[in-house]
Amino acid sequence: IAVLLSSLWLAAAPCQSESVEIPPLLVDACFFQQDAPQVARGFQTLDGQWQVADGVVSVGPAPGPKLVLQDTSMSVGRVGTELFFTDKLGGNIGLLVKVSEAGVGADIWNGYEVSLYADRQVLHLARHRQNYEPIGFFPCDVPVGQWIVLVVEMTETTLRVFVDGKLVHSYEDTEHPLA
């Protein structure tokens, strides 16, 4: 499986509508080809062999590779990206939101995992507090060979996840909400 990420956008205010049609506000211009471990300006790579080609960021299989946006502590707002699965051989691609204390390793970070599995056709939500706490797997169309838009809207305690403009799941963390 290969992970391809073409754009990422952030909006600092929560969305009031069902629409997720927002223009890329940030990051596309930050992706650039270089030999240094920092794949994109303002991002830190944690594990994995990351590459940039033709404006697309990619990483091969690895146990927990992360591309972490630095200098932001956004916990209320909206974040989105376009994802591409090359096959259904397994593995997940997604967004990590409300991230803090990130390190090398699949579960070395605090925040929420919002990921898609093409082989299982599901959206997966999990909370991480230097561990792995599964929230659930939710049925979702995850096509192979085409770009998929993944958007997460966040409030202090809720996550609303959209895949290709459709609300797939809404989750409220009443037990251990992360900022």
Radius of gyration of the chain (CA): 15
SS3 for the chain is CCEEEEEEEEECCCCCCCCCCCCCCCCHHHECCCCCCCCECCEEEECCCEEEECCEEEECCCCCCEEEECCCCCCCEEEEEEEEECCCCCCEEEEEEEEECCCCCCCCCEEEEEEEECCCCEEEEEEEECCCEEEEEEECCCCCCCEEEEEEEECCCEEEEEECCEEEEEEECCCCCCC
Give the lowest-confidence range in 1-10, 49-58, 139-148.
Answer: 1-10
pLDDT at residue 71, as a whole number: 66
Taking residues 32-44, report their average pLDDT. 56
Give the lowest-confidence range in 30-39, 113-122, 153-162.
Answer: 30-39
pLDDT at residue 62, as a whole number: 75
Token pair of 82, please?
């376009």
**Statement: residue 92 has pLDDT above 90:** no
pLDDT at residue 39, as a whole number: 64
Taking residues 55-70, report their average pLDDT. 77
Highest mean pLDDT among 42-56, 61-75, 90-104: 90-104
Q: Which residue has the higher pLDDT, 11 or 86?
A: 86
Q: Which residue has the higher pLDDT, 29 or 115?
A: 115
Please give the Cα distance from 148 to 162 (Å, whole number): 10
**Statement: residue 88 has pLDDT above 80:** yes
Q: Which residue has the higher pLDDT, 117 or 8?
A: 117
Q: Which residue has the higher pLDDT, 17 or 112?
A: 112
pLDDT at residue 85, as a whole number: 87
State the pLDDT confidence band at 171, using cuts at 50, 70 and 90: very high
Taking residues 84-96, report their average pLDDT. 86
